[in-house]
Amino acid sequence: ENEINARVDWALKSFGLEAYRYYQPSKLSGGLKQRLAIASTVVMGSNFLIMDDPTSNLDWNGIKCLRETIFYLKKIGKGVLVLSRRLKGLEDCFDRTYYLNGQVFEVQAKNESNSQSFPENLLQKNVVGNGVAIKISGLWFKYEKDYVLKDVNLEIPYNTIVSVMGPNGSGKTTLVKHFNGLLKPSKGDVIVDGKNTRNYSPAQLSKYIGFVFQDPDRHIVSESVWDEVTFACKNLGLPLDGGEKALRTLNLHDLRDRPPYLLSMGEKVRLMIASALAIDPKILVLDEPTTGQDDKTLKLIENVIFKMKSEGKSVIIVTHDTDFALKVSDKTIIVKDGCVAECSNAKNVLLDPSKVELYELEPPALIEERVK
């Protein structure tokens, strides 16, 4: 028993989960669940660990905890295999890195480069929309006794791409779940496309606002990809060709007869995006859309985001991926301890090293390159 307790203490401490020791796992945020999943595997003391996309949903501190753990496991003679699209923050952990791209290449971990170029002109598309997409005034929210959102005030105009960032458990998912009326404010108001969410059900709001959840496994309901992508169209009495088009846009048309539970995580996320797009919403919320994507599929998602903006619509993206946020978003909202700590031009926030440190964000490749 002592051995079990010692290991559990170590694992909770290593992954910053001490405060959540007696929490129900279902009530943890997405990133905290991911930390718990890794900690519970590490605690078993196996000699070899395989981690499939362990950094998805992790904030920068979570990635640093994982890095320390991998170093520790190596030091005590264990083996670790990590499968991931990007190794940012973990580069120096590995003795070997393999790129799988049809063929297998072995490369030195040191040579791995995360640098990306940022196409400046992509954000300057034709302005179509105007007016306010989402207006939040004096929003307070609690699940149980403590407030998780505290006096949030925000305005998101149409024709804007916004990234929502901040540490695991800070309240990002809770905030965006207010946008489609899934959560109703404990105090204050959320107005979406001119409608107070208190007076509308999520089903009614789904006409205007598409929502892609952080955890697709809990939200996919149909027996086939085609049924899932046309689910909302059927409910709203809309033509089904929106579903067909969306499957093509997200490169899923070859999978239309598959049961969704057989898809990879990245395909499930894209299926949820396609299902949201099928009804051509004016506002799209993507909670951690980069999960499970590779560079090619990430590009498809980028195209969806930029196309929405070119039509004057708004996209709100919750992400820990600073490079992705920099590439796609006009504005960044930082949520910290349930408050909006920052809401301004994405580059002003994400390329400012003091803000990146203050808000515990993943440093973008651009800052790293400047430092070099």
Ligand X SMILES: Nc1ncnc2c1ncn2[C@@H]1O[C@H](COP(=O)(O)OP(=O)(O)OP(=O)(O)O)[C@@H](O)[C@H]1O
CB of 302 to ligand X, least distance (A): 21
Residue number, 60 or 158, with CB nearest to ligand X: 60
10 Å CB burial of residue 150 (0-12, 13-18, 19+) is middle
174 binds, among ligand X, Mg ion, none (CB under 5 to 8 A by kind): ligand X
Give residues with Cβ within 8 angstroms of 10, minimum separation 6.
Answer: 43
Given a contact cutoff of 8 angstroms between Cβ atoms, the answer to whether 233 and 279 are in contact is yes
Q: Binding of Mg ion at residue 30 (CB under 5 A)? A: yes
User: Quick check: 140 and 186 in contact, CB under 8 A?
Assistant: yes
Closest separation in Å from C-beta 238 to ligand X: 30
Q: Cβ closer to Mg ion: 168 or 275?
A: 168
| 90, 148, 247, 286: which one binds ligand X (CB under 6 A) | 148
Supply the DSSP string of 117-154, one letter for each residue: ---GGGG-PPP---SEEEEEEEEEEESSSSEEEEEEEE
The mark string for 96-135 relative to ligand X (x by CB under 6 A, - otherwise) is: ----------------------------------------
Query: Which of the choices ligand X, Mg ion, none does residue 171 contact, using the CB cut-off of 5 to 8 A by kind?
Result: ligand X
Q: Which residues pair with 195 in a beta bridge?
A: 192
Task: Tell me the number of residues near ligand X by CB under 6 A.
Answer: 20
Among positions 168-197, residues that touch ligand X (CB under 6 A) are 168-174
Q: Are 291 and 86 in contact (CB under 8 A)?
A: no
> Read out DSSP for 239-278?
-THHHHHHHHHTT-GGGTTS-GGGS-HHHHHHHHHHHHHT
- Among the listed residues 160, 181, 191, 183, the one whose alpha carbon sits nearest the alpha carbon of residue 317: 160
Of the listed pieces 19-27, 29-37, 93-101, 236-244, which binds Mg ion according to CB under 5 A? 29-37
Which among 151, 147, 148 has a CA at the least distance from the CA of 139? Answer: 151
Q: Which does 120 bind (CB under 5 to 8 A by kind): Mg ion, ligand X, none?
A: none
Residues in contact with Mg ion, total (CB under 5 A)? Answer: 5
| Residue 372, C-beta contacts closer than 8 angstroms, at least 6 positions apart | none
144 near ligand X, rule: CB under 6 A: yes
Nearest residue to ligand X, scored by beta-carbon proximity? 31
Using CB under 5 A as the binding rule, whether residue 174 contacts Mg ion is answered as: no
Where does this chain bind ligand X (CB under 6 A)?
Answer: 27-32, 57, 59, 143-144, 148, 166, 168-174, 214
Where does this chain bind Mg ion (CB under 5 A)?
Answer: 29-30, 172-173, 214
